[in-house]
Structure 1
Amino acid sequence: MTQPAPDERRPAWRRHLPLAVIVVVAIVGAFTPSDWLSFETLRENRQALLDFRDAHYLWMAVIFVAIYIAIVAFSLPGASVTSVTGGFLFGLVTGSVLNVASATVGATAIFLAARAGLGETLAARIDASEGRMRQIKQRLNENEVSVLFLIRLVPVVPFFVANLLPALVGVKFRNFVLTTALGIIPGTVVYTWIGVGVGEVFDRGGTPDLSLLWEPQVIGPVLGLAALAALPILVRAVRGRKEI
């Protein structure tokens, strides 16, 4: 007699609990004032943060990464401010590495939570069906890397959506992690770069301008990368071998 898989033996509530916790915390966070994580807070506490960083660099890095992971994992507001803070505290190179690593780990947490609960059930039902949804899922799975890169590179796709949807259609874990880590690099570097000069902005009495991401010299290369990511899909479609 075939034994059920470990995931099938677990009670349903245990499989859905991680995603349920994330959703509840995200909802609470969305309706909770987030003044503690803003540019104004950074302005008021920048010297204290710099002093702590200089005295306890490793601890500052650990605390920063933990906060960033929690913000992304629970889809809390403030990810952009946190990315800028990473550049402010650690510089362009180290700040970018910490920002990318933290965002990737947080995104992976959402992905795993969704896949353990709704994702596995939904993907199995789609595979067992005979409708259009099954065909779409099959085409998506055949072009996973290209599609996931597109989702990450095109700024109009909300980060939470880009973390959740792949889990619900059963994409491979390694493809999700790889495309997340690489796909968020361009935008993350821009935000980190803003953070490097945020001290001078504060000295002038200004506020960091996050609209820089939409400047032609920035968004142009990003869209170019998105076009390259879409190229394999287009080639397959033209050849008539694949259909999205």
Structure 2
Amino acid sequence: MRKLLFAALIAIFILLLVNLSPGTISLTTLQHYQSQLMGWHNQHPQLAAALFFICYLLVAALSIPGATLLTVLGGALFGLIEGTVLVALAATSGATLAMLMSRYLLHDWVQRRFGRMMATVNRGMERDGARYLFALRLTPVVPFFVINLLMGLTTISIGRYFMVSLIGMLPAIVVYLNAGRELSRLQTLADVLSPGMMLMFALIGLLPLASRWLAGKR
């Protein structure tokens, strides 16, 4: 049921101009709006992809809550392959822009606000270099936007930051895109117990554990 509520949030985000009153959100309602959105996507695939990319990039660059929701939406709209390309590039580009803003515009504020964490990051970067960033991207211990801000105060190059962030975020991106794809296939509440949905739940639950294990190995 929690995933159905998550799907409801997706519909709300998609239809910013549609005012759904309390109690009107149901699986039938979500399918109705999803069908409309998919129809518009089929008619204007390039425009839909461009708008999604820009929206995701801004969310990532400005640290606006909702990146996970957008990732799930990308899976429902674009599928796994196209969605992976769009989300991975948008998320990494946004993260890089946020890092650059921290480096050139917010340097003093970040140093004052996260001074203690910055000392830890500096030690990690001195010890492991880009592998430390890779571990941070894999493990959900430090929030996405905090990593961007802190890395702006290090000496890591823009190109290396982009590539390491892209690779480190890719596993989570694929898992949540797959979740969106599975949610878009729901026809009845009973479908929540389908093998595909059960696998999706398992992947989401195992992702933090697998990420920490892989980061430890790295």
Q: Where does residue 215 of structure 1 map in the other structure? A: 205
Q: In the aligned structure 2, how far is the partner of 1:39 from the partner of 1:118?
A: 32
The superposition leaves residues 22-77 of structure 1 with CA deviations (integer Å, 9 ceiling, x where unpaired) of xxxxxxxxxxxxxxx92242536211210011111111110110111111111112
Report the alpha carbon displacement of residue 182 of structure 1 after superposing the two structures with TM.
0.4
The superposition leaves residues 121-154 of structure 1 with CA deviations (integer Å, 9 ceiling, x where unpaired) of 989xxxxxxxxx8897366245221110011000
Q: 2:56 aligns with which of 68, 81, 89?
A: 68
Report the alpha carbon displacement of residue 192 of structure 1 after superposing the two structures with TM.
0.3
Structure 1 residues 204-213 or 39-48, which shifts more? Answer: 204-213
Q: In the aligned structure 2, how far is the partner of 1:135 from the partner of 1:103?
A: 25
Q: Where does residue 38 of structure 1 map in the other structure? A: 9
Q: 1:57 aligns with which of 22, 27, 45?
A: 45
Q: In the aligned structure 1, how far is the partner of 2:10 from the partner of 2:175?
A: 16
Q: Are positions 1:224 and 2:213 aligned together?
A: yes
Q: Where does residue 68 of structure 2 map in the other structure? A: 80
Residues 215, 45 of structure 1: CA spacing in aligned structure 2 closer, same or farther, 3 A cutoff?
Answer: same
Residues 119, 197 of structure 1: CA spacing in aligned structure 2 closer, same or farther, 3 A cutoff?
Answer: same
Residues 70, 212 of structure 1: CA spacing in aligned structure 2 closer, same or farther, 3 A cutoff?
Answer: farther
Q: In the aligned structure 2, how far is the partner of 1:63 from the partner of 1:205?
A: 34
Query: Identity over aligned residues, as a percent?
Result: 29
Report the alpha carbon displacement of residue 156 of structure 1 after superposing the two structures with TM.
2.1
Q: Where does residue 3 of structure 1 map in the other structure? A: none
What TM-score do you get using the length of structure 1 for normalisation?
Answer: 0.65
User: What secondary structure, in the 3-state scheme, does the structure 2 residue paired with 1:38 have?
Assistant: helix
Alignment-mate amino acid for residue 221 of structure 1: A
Between Structure 1 and Structure 2, whose CA radius of gyration is higher?
Answer: 1
Q: Where does residue 147 of structure 2 map in the other structure? A: 162
Q: Where does residue 182 of structure 1 map in the other structure? A: 167
Report how many aligned residue pairs link the two structures.
Answer: 183
Structure 2 alignment gaps of length 5 or more: 1-7, 15-29, 112-117
What TM-score do you get using the length of structure 2 for normalisation?
Answer: 0.72
Residues 172, 122 of structure 1: CA spacing in aligned structure 2 closer, same or farther, 3 A cutoff?
Answer: farther
Structure 1 residues 139-148 or 86-95, which shifts more? Answer: 139-148
